Amino acid sequence: MKNLLKFKSSNIMLVAVLALIILVSGCAAGGEKDKQNVSGEESYKIGAVIDISGNSSSLGVPERDTLQMLVENLNAGGGINGHPVELTILDNKSDETEAVLAAKTLIEQDVLAVLGCASSGPSMAMINTLQKEKVPMISMAAASSIVEPVEERHWVFKTAQSDIVTVSNIISYLKENGLTKVAFLYMNNAYGDGGKKAFLTAARENNVEVVVEEKFEASDKDMTAQLTRVKSSPAQATVVWAIPPSASILTKNYRDLGIAALLIHSHGVGNQKFIDLAQGAADGVILPIGKLTVVEQIPDDDPQKKVLQSYIDDYTKKYNMLPDSFGGYAWDAFHLVVKAIEKAGPDRGAIRDELENTREFVGVSGVFNMSPRDHNGLDKESMVMVRIENGKWKLLD
């Protein structure tokens, strides 16, 4: 009997050890299968730090899913020059400290480059760590300060349209529609601060008067107090720099107060999650966004149309749902780094140089033209103005 119990105990321990091995292997997208699927060549390691949980998870989850899909497809097709790609994705929990810890973990794993984060604050937090170790970084967040001043961001690139590009589109829309008095509301974090700085500067240069300026926390559940000031102001339009869920809450508060001024958001609300959380209040919202959400409405000769449709087809087949702009930022980051490794090989410095020399790369977020003076590479034409109607995105003329 004693031997039988000992035998059962050993089996239980063996099963537990095997389960742990399977769990750890699953933390790296692609896992062991990807390491073995091409001709015995050594893996190329790439890391990603993404806001998979926490306040920015609506941005990070589609980015994670996109990266997992892309690395599977890449390795199934032979990897990079015969080398399988080992992609490790870590969750920063939408927290800056967690992002830095994750970056250090990836550096210890000797990755060739780090993709991330989804949001601006965690992206900014990782910069010093990665630059110190001379690891190329491609952020998928918006703040221009992630890549500027460029002489202090030698190793840092980004794929989301910068807040300066987004502001440029909003200012053009305001001027075209004769809107000269606006209220400006923003999240009290790196994304909101970047939008505020870019918008206030552009407003002054274009004779747009900011009659109300208010901020709120990303975790706030009610912005009625700030919006009450907007309602009593002469603002003809309200520009908001935020992401869901706070952007959705503000939008619902806005409609509940019956504010007549036009509501304009940034590209931080470019996903279905924003619309769903706003519970019908998002209808009428105007914003600049990448072309992915309106691909069927853009001309057939648009240089991005083929890439956009291909991404939509692949993602829909894999996940049975449409992708969004945030997944598109991940699509661009992954392909940019793969393209650079194809040319440079497993050399971090050479990969950085290839990223900086990217020209005419047609991606989901636009046509990228990087340079020593521009580590984003996207211009105003990478975005279009849309209005939300009946919960859908409609391209404006």
Taking phi first (over 0 means left), then psi (-120 to 50 degrees means alpha), and beta for anything else, what does residue 39 get? left
The token pair at 380 is 């105003």
CA atoms in the 13 A half-sphere facing the CB of 1: 0
Phi/psi for 309 (5° steps) reads -65, -35
Considering the domain boundaries, does residue 21 fall inside one? no
**What pLDDT is recorded for position 39?**
58
Total residues belonging to the chain: 397
**What pLDDT is recorded for position 309?**
97
Phi/psi for 208 (5° steps) reads -100, 125
The token pair at 42 is 């050594």
pTM tops 0.95, yes or no: no
Q: What span, in angstroms and rounded, lies between the C-alpha atoms of 241 and 261?
A: 16
Residue 195: count of CB within 10 angstroms of its CB:
30
Taking phi first (over 0 means left), then psi (-120 to 50 degrees means alpha), and beta for anything else, what does residue 81 get? left
Residue bearing the bigger pLDDT, 83 or 191: 83
Q: What span, in angstroms and rounded, lies between the C-alpha atoms of 29 and 136?
A: 20
Considering the domain boundaries, does residue 350 fall inside one? yes
Which distant-in-sequence residues (6+ apart) come within 8 Å of 100 by Cβ?
Answer: 125, 126, 129
Closest among 242, 240, 244, 332 to 286, alpha carbons compared: 240
- Residues 138 and 175 occupy one common structural domain: no
pLDDT of 32 > 50? The answer is no
Considering the domain boundaries, does residue 66 fall inside one? yes
Domain boundary among the residues 232, 262, 289 is at: 289
- Residues 55 and 148 occupy one common structural domain: yes
- Output the average pLDDT for the chain: 91
Closest among 107, 151, 127 to 375, alpha carbons compared: 151
Considering the domain boundaries, does residue 25 fall inside one? no
Provide the domain count of the chain: 2
Taking residues 191-208, what's their average pLDDT?
95
Domain boundary among the residues 289, 318, 334 is at: 289
- Residues 138 and 250 occupy one common structural domain: no
- Residues 105 and 139 occupy one common structural domain: yes
pLDDT per residue as tens digits for the range 98-114 = 999 999 999 999 999 99
What sign has the CA pseudo-torsion 70, 73, 75, 78? negative
pLDDT per residue as tens digits for the range 229-248 = 999 999 999 999 999 999 99
- Where helices occur in the chain by DSSP H, the ranges are 2-26, 31-36, 57-76, 96-108, 120-132, 163-176, 190-205, 224-231, 246-256, 272-278, 305-319, 325-344, 348-356
Considering the domain boundaries, does residue 392 fall inside one? no
- Residues 181 and 77 occupy one common structural domain: no
Q: How far is CA 290 from each of CA 58, 115, 177, 227, 329, rounded to the nearest angstrom?
A: 17, 20, 21, 28, 10
The token pair at 236 is 């003809």
Enumerate long-range contacts of 229-233, CB under 8 Å, 24 or more apart: 229/183, 230/183, 230/185, 230/259, 230/261, 231/257, 231/258, 231/259, 233/181, 233/183
Considering the domain boundaries, does residue 389 fall inside one? no
Q: How far, rounded to the nearest angstrom, does the alpha carbon of residue 298 sit from its chain's CA centroid?
A: 22
- Residues 146 and 177 occupy one common structural domain: no
Taking residues 61-82, what's their average pLDDT?
97
Banded pLDDT at 2 (limits 50, 70, 90) = very low
Domain boundary among the residues 289, 318, 341 is at: 289
Residue 110 domain boundaries: 44-161+299-379
Q: Are 242 and 270 in contact (CB under 8 A)?
A: no
**SS3 for 116?**
coil
- Residues 179 and 283 occupy one common structural domain: yes
**What pLDDT is recorded for position 41?**
83
Residue with tokens 């393209």: 339
pLDDT of 25 > 90? The answer is no
Considering the domain boundaries, does residue 73 fall inside one? yes
Considering the domain boundaries, does residue 385 fall inside one? no
- Residues 256 and 362 occupy one common structural domain: no
Neighbour order of strands in the sheet with 156-158: 28-29, 85-91, 44-50, 114-115, 137-139, 156-158
Q: How far is CA 288 from each of CA 105, 159, 269, rounded to the nearest angstrom?
A: 36, 16, 10
Q: What pairs with residue 213 in β-bridges?
A: 184
**What pLDDT is recorded for position 385?**
97
- Residues 207 and 265 occupy one common structural domain: yes
Query: Residue 282 is part of a domain; what is its CATH number?
Result: 3.40.50.2300
